[in-house]
Structure 1
């Protein structure tokens, strides 16, 4: 089984990729999307979004990183895709799945699922612009208002020349609602297409991953929200490691915070760490009280102090009662 660490706007940045690929067996990372409108963006935009380009397109632990583009102009998507490859990206991914109202309102992301012909033109233009031997992939959902057009959508991606497709098993209207994922339809797509299909959606643990693989027939899975819920999800799925303890999560949060608050990136730290806490609250009940303490704070050092103090408290508890007492 291959595992891809997928993109999550506003939280899965280069630092998060660095940390998560160090402790997991991910085979590939995909960046947050770069919005393309009507221009060839300067290289500095891509270096800011994907600093791994300066290191051969890989994280420090050696995981390849693929830049993701989002836009509806075949011409400018193609020009930017060619540049991304020149800069060293491990292929280029096209976002046709983002359900954001803001993005869809400007005819980006999942909005193109309503126009398979335009989707086809974008993928074709990108494929023609990217040198042979470099992967062009597309991430889609099963439809916009419902899943009735999923075959037309995936056929357009394949016919346009994409090398790979990632399918989130929901429509745009489903957003991320529990109980709406359709792994069975991804299974139909896997049988239908000649290109590799990666399954995405509601993979929270090893059991989910194995079940998803069995239903979809996919050799590769993509995890996104689950990778933030349980920071060692990749190792849990691929190597059977136990989910990370709360003590280890706190240590990771402190390390993340110390790196993130340096320089200009520190301006975004409060929002990013709070976003991460929203995911951690699901499997780690201890995160609820800690999140309540920081949710109104804007000062990055105050937030770091609270997390650091929590880590110290847990370490004292472990000294008295053992690691098992603070697992989950």
Structure 2
């Protein structure tokens, strides 16, 4: 079984990738999507979105990081994939799952599931452009407004050269509304000859067990569930080995929040840093009652020194 951390745009940046992979249980993670339009991006764009490229493309905890591209131009995606590999990317992942309206309007993400022939062309071009030893993978949803074409899209991606498919078990129109239709992951698994990961609505170890039973696949990608419960991957990995772990406590989580804040203050602007902390803290309220109290205290704060004090991080230490 492999467990992956999902590439959640606007949330799982290099700072959160670092903090979450420290906890353990995650086998690999993916960058937020790098948008490709009609040009070869400068290397600086890749290094900004994926600072780990400078360190062997692993997080400080040693977890492999893969580079994800989003776009609709096969040739341009291929050129940018080749560049990413030259910069150190060990795997190229292609995004056909993003449901954001702005992304779909610019012909990116899940809207491409309406065009299985284009999916196939993109995979073929990218596969030809990168060295044979570099895997090319793809993330998809079940479709745009219906899962009726999910199997055709999955076949198009696999036949085009995708070595792994991650299937978010909802359509674009479904967004993130429960339930996730894990039974469709099983149907995808039955029509392709490559490994399939299940993604969507796994918040607990029990959810993982149900997902595994219904989807029939051993591998999983965790998104909001892992961000809300940072030890979820570790718990699932232990459960797979027949071990039951006690859940992470608030006392164990606080050093991670403090580490996140130190990096946010160092790498982001004073205006950005509090917002990113609040974003993660709001998701933690789903699991930790203490997070509700802390979120209430910081939600209106914009001063970094004051936020640091509430987290128990001194201003000088954070800087």
Q: TM class by shorter-chain length?
A: over 0.9
Cα drift, residue 145 of structure 1: 0.8
Cα distance in 2 between the residues matched to 1:188 and 1:234 = 25
User: Which residue of structure 2 lines up, in the alignment, with residue 241 of structure 1?
Assistant: 245
Q: In 1, are the aligned partners of 2:25 and 2:235 still within 8 Å (CA)?
A: no
Q: Structure 2, unaligned stretches of length 5 or more?
A: 239-243, 314-319
For the pair 1:196 / 2:195, whether they are aligned, the reply is yes
Among candidates 271, 284, 289, match of residue 288 of structure 2: 284
Going from structure 1 to structure 2, the CA distance change for 1:263 and 1:63 (only over 3 Å counts) comes to closer
Deviation digits for residues 175-196 of structure 1, max 9, x if unmatched? 01022x1111101111211011
Aligned residues: 308
Query: Which stretch has the larger CA shift, 61-70 or 241-250?
Result: 241-250
Aligned runs of 1:118-129 on 2, under 5 Å?
Answer: 118-129=118-129
SS at match of 2:33: strand
Q: Which structure 1 residue ranges, 4+ long, deviate > 3 Å from structure 2?
A: 263-267
Cα drift, residue 79 of structure 1: 0.4
Q: Structure 1, unaligned stretches of length 5 or more?
A: 310-328
Among candidates 286, 309, 313, match of residue 305 of structure 1: 309
Q: In 2, are the aligned partners of 1:24 and 1:233 still within 8 Å (CA)?
A: no
Cα distance in 2 between the residues matched to 1:263 and 1:5 = 22
User: Which residue of structure 1 lines up, in the alignment, with residue 20 of structure 2?
Assistant: 20
Aligned runs of 1:212-231 on 2, under 5 Å?
Answer: 212-231=211-230
What TM-score comes out, normalization by structure 2 length? 0.93
SS at match of 1:148: helix
User: Which residue of structure 2 lines up, in the alignment, with residue 101 of structure 1?
Assistant: 101
Cα drift, residue 267 of structure 1: 4.3
What TM-score comes out, normalization by structure 1 length? 0.90
Deviation digits for residues 277-319 of structure 1, max 9, x if unmatched? 221111112222321222222222222222228xxxxxxxxxx
Cα distance in 2 between the residues matched to 1:266 and 1:167 = 37
Q: In 2, are the aligned partners of 1:229 and 1:282 still within 8 Å (CA)?
A: yes
User: Which residue of structure 2 lines up, in the alignment, with residue 254 of structure 1?
Assistant: 258
User: Which residue of structure 2 lines up, in the alignment, with residue 54 of structure 1?
Assistant: 54
Aligned runs of 1:132-147 on 2, under 5 Å?
Answer: 132-147=132-147
Cα distance in 2 between the residues matched to 1:192 and 1:34 = 29
Q: In 1, are the aligned partners of 2:67 and 2:84 still within 8 Å (CA)?
A: yes
Query: Which stretch has the larger CA shift, 130-139 or 239-248?
Result: 239-248
For the pair 1:185 / 2:188, whether they are aligned, the reply is no
Cα distance in 1 between the residues matched to 2:27 and 2:44 = 26
User: Which residue of structure 1 lines up, in the alignment, with residue 316 of structure 2?
Assistant: none
User: Which residue of structure 1 lines up, in the alignment, with residue 317 of structure 2?
Assistant: none
For the pair 1:268 / 2:245, whether they are aligned, the reply is no
